[in-house]
Amino acid sequence: MFPTTIHVGRRQIWQAHLTPAFQRPALIISGPTYEWAETLFNAWHDYDWYEVQDKINAVPHFHTKIEDLNIHYVHARSSRADAIPLILCHGWPGTFWEFSEVWTPLSNPSSDSDPAFHVVVPSLPGFCFSDWPPRSGWTLQDTARVFDQLMKRLGYSEYMMQGGDWSHWIGREMGSKYTDNCKLVHFNFAPSPLPEGVEYTQREKDVQARVDNWLEWHMGYAVCMRTRPHTIGFGFNDNPLAILTWVGEKYNEAAGPDNQKKPYWTRVILTTATLYYLTDCIMPSMLCYYENVRHENFASFAMEPKNRITIPFGYTSFYWDTEPSSKRAVERTGNLVYYKERNDGGHYAAIEDPAGIIEDVRELAAQEWKKAVGSK
């Protein structure tokens, strides 16, 4: 393994800013409005990548090769001797940057009474500075195996995992297959089926209505990426506008409505789209959809005995997520020991509600870590 810093040449930034100026507006029948897209494009011209790059490089970055796969990761070690190893994993259309508001507070909390963590944030294979998946058929279960090796290579024989979106399946694999090392898991996304015949609570009714709407009207992107990732991937690769609208639409649709209106959310979209463009990862990032379980099968897949989490795990249900679950659903899929509902955030919990994720990870760790590792 070796340390690295992130540096992007000014010509690449110039190209990213120049290309949108030559685009012709199209007639929009459905999807994002032209006004929304135009506002986003204009904001990109004023966006300062180097300010973000400095913040990225404020934490240590490394590369290491595992199974002939070059993996990029952030490693924010704590100064505390009692720190808990913690791997944070993103999904799509996320990046390691999703955790930029939590890695420092988690690794070095202001209060000695709060748990501290050695924070590891890898880029999934095919995302940003990690290599593409090395072969066809590469699944999130393969990624879980590699990330388990990463934690052991860093000297963490026992660790905790946190994730959402596609990384829910990474955490589920770790919590069912790699239990000698992975001792505790926290999710902010955990699609799970309610018991048959139960009467829904009002929250469950409201959530189910939004889930049905999401699966019916917002899944075009997923159908494209799980059937023809190379076709649209090649078309998008050198087109920053296409990446910006493809990624930006999902950030707007899946975030809490209050967060969508805040100025920082535009910056989140621009940073994510810029990372995808500068690292040529839009196409390989789509392979998560091509190679893994489909959305309509998420809940049944979680219920399969081989995917049952046997170690203690926690789940925070964010009301505005794409598929929020309730306690009596999630507890059917494993050893659920911690559950909380939050009503403000959505799919991108770590960057929408960093204080909430920090609090929940700390609470779960304080409650379960010593028991999970045998009071070491």
Q: Are 283 and 243 in contact (CB under 8 A)?
A: no
73-94: per-residue pLDDT in tens?
999 999 999 999 999 999 999 9
Between 350 and 17, residue with greater pLDDT: 350
What share of the chain in percent tops pLDDT 70? 93
What pLDDT does 158 receive? Answer: 98
Per-residue pLDDT band for 44 (boundaries 50, 70, 90) equals: confident
The span from the CA of 256 to the CA of 347, in Å, is 8
**Mean confidence (pLDDT) of the chain:** 92
What pLDDT does 46 receive? Answer: 86
The span from the CA of 161 to the CA of 119, in Å, is 10
Per-residue pLDDT band for 13 (boundaries 50, 70, 90) equals: low
Per-residue pLDDT band for 20 (boundaries 50, 70, 90) equals: low
What pLDDT does 114 receive? Answer: 97
339-362: per-residue pLDDT in tens?
999 999 999 999 999 999 999 999
135-155: per-residue pLDDT in tens?
899 999 999 999 999 999 999
Residue 156 maps to which CATH number?
A: 3.40.50.1820
pTM over 0.75: yes
- Alpha-helix runs per DSSP H in 135-256: 140-153, 167-177, 202-217, 220-227, 229-237, 240-254
Per-residue pLDDT band for 12 (boundaries 50, 70, 90) equals: low
Residue 373 has pLDDT above 80, yes or no: yes
Burial of 330 (0-12, 13-18, 19+ CB in 10 A): buried
The span from the CA of 94 to the CA of 172, in Å, is 19
Beta strands 84-89 and 69-76: pairing type? unpaired
What pLDDT does 22 receive? Answer: 44
230-274: per-residue pLDDT in tens?
999 988 998 888 899 999 999 999 999 999 989 899 999 999 999
306-343: per-residue pLDDT in tens?
999 999 999 999 999 999 999 999 999 999 999 999 99
Give me the sign of the Cα torsion angle 29, 30, 35, 37.
Answer: negative
Tell me the CA distances in angstroms from 236 to 10, 43, 93, 130, one per residue in order. Answer: 21, 20, 14, 19
Per-residue pLDDT band for 38 (boundaries 50, 70, 90) equals: confident
Within 13 Å of residue 303, how many CA atoms lie on the same side as its CB? 12
Q: Which residues pair with residue 186 across a beta bridge?
A: 162, 314
Residue 103 has pLDDT above 50, yes or no: yes
Q: How many domains does the chain have?
A: 1
Query: What is the residue range of 27's domain?
Result: 2-372
